[in-house]
Structure 1
Amino acid sequence: MVSFIEAWGLVMFSLCYTFYVAKLVPKGIKRLILIIPVLFYFFIFPFLMSSLHLIGITAFFIAWLANFKIVLFALGLGPLSSNPRPLSLPIFFAVSCLPINIQLSPKPPTSHSNGGGSTDGPLKYIIKVALLVLFSKVYAYKTNLPEKAVLTLYAIHTYFFLVLMLAAAAALVRAMSGLELEPQFNKPYLATSLQNFWGRRWNLMVTGILRPTVYEPLIQLFSAWGQPRDWSRYPAVFLTFVVSGLMHELVFFYIGRLRPDWKVMWFFLVNGFCTTVEIAIKKTINGRWILPTAISRVLTIGFVMVTGLWLFFPEFTRCNILERSIDEYVAIGRVAARIKKSI
């Protein structure tokens, strides 16, 4: 915790520096050059952590999302620059460090307004927490379960954990600032295609960052080379998955400190290729033939789950994430018991 507090102190200092550099230097390459030391520190920041949970969260929040946001900010783009009025320093901190995005236009109360990407009330969040606790009990018997069953539990566990973590982050910022926030998930289990799943339902903050940092610049690059915009879309989509795969490999490297075996990268290459092919087929068919919704949902979630169980979730086992997580929970319980006893 001491190293965590010290490291986050440097993060706050780095963001203060970035904030005030932007006040003095106009957007562009000069501002980006001045912010490069911050980007470098944010990449090494997760190595200063020893806790599995702190490593995972800071690798995702800081080394990936915050760095991408700051690069966009240096160029006058992205969530730190897209608001009609300049952000205050506390809101700048929150939007930089947390996977949230400020909602520019108000939406009806029935929309996804809780920051978690759904209209779930408190009861559904309580159910998710209860299921996570139940999973932790089931993991004690994982040696008696088929490997694929354990990996399926990892998959569901990951989704619930992300929903709860991102909703909590969004709720914290909302309570501090009164700002309404964009959703982070949009019921991914209802996706009717890979394009729908990855582009409009799953982890929308990542999608919102990859679009201006990778996808749109690639579209402009290929178009500048004389390629039709429709054609440019296909390699841009695939290369966006490549970048996402590299960043996921980096996050797992921070967590496990193991040489990558590139299975996670292959997961994104397979999904990127199939999503690109799907977009091309949709363009060719042009709505003349559409699968029934129920079938398309089963095929979509089935494909993501099968490729995930094959390539993505085995990395959890390789990095020994489950056992390390349980050890940390036990350690926290011991500390809590000592504090209670001392009181």
Structure 2
Amino acid sequence: MAPQIFHLSSARWRTALVGVIGQLRRLVRQGPPKIIIDFSITKHLHPCGTLLFVSELDRLQREFAGVIRCNYPKDDVVEQLFQHIGLLQKLGRTPRKEITAGNVTPWHFESGHEIDASKFASMFEDYAGSLWQSDRRDLWVGMQEAMANCIEHAYTEERGDGLPSRKRWWMFAREESGMLSVALCDLGIGIQRSLPKNPEAAGFIQQIVNVVTGQRKTPEAKHIKAAIEYGKTRTKDRHRGKGLGQIFGFVERSPDSSLRIMSNKGIYTFAPERRTGEERVEHFADYNDSIEGTLIQWRIPLKAGDPI
């Protein structure tokens, strides 16, 4: 049974969602004639958990077409969203809803296996007029680099789950309350395993890990931060950190923007701190459960009017 809430920043619901995904992978490897996903209790879909779930299901469907099916969700909004992004159709259910929910219609979903800017160009046509010219340029470059990260670095080794590793990325985007939210997911080996391993790079990265994050017991999150810092200092090289450094730089230059990067068990957040009034602060955490991949989320304010 699918969990009630699809969320990766809550330890409870992260464990539930990752557990269901792992069970699906085990079942398809065993080769049962049919697997039915029960969405009866699913009520809340956060972008992070939903994108991971959709990505994993899409991967399994591409390898084992027709094996996984589902029932119709009982929650109307959940069914509308799953229909809107094409998930129900992939799971053998005929679309039956008119997509009217205000928190469903703004969502755009794309997936691909190449560094193909045209894949997300159409997604941002609706938002281009609401972004400053410099933001449009930086966002475009950041998205291309994020795609390059997925294709060139996330799949350099086998993932280790007993299934074939094929290069692919998945993306959500939406506008809500004057903010543009983008999420990009890959199901590769994670940031820590994909960082450069030559002695010079490894030494530099370890130095960053030791200096910028102190003695916190968050090894995966530390390496996300190290990848960002390494990317900012090695902009001419092709490596996993380059795209992260460019995305971070874009968010850092854009007031009120925020960035969250999840990779395997780690999570790094750079966001406004409303409780203390600080403009933006960094948070590091490692969870018990690995998402077995990388998911990048960033939120960018849309302009309210013409620049003064």
Q: Which TM bucket (shorter chain)?
A: under 0.3
TM-score relative to the length of structure 2: 0.27
TM-score relative to the length of structure 1: 0.25
- In proportion to residue count, which structure has more helix? 1
- In proportion to residue count, which structure has more strand? 2
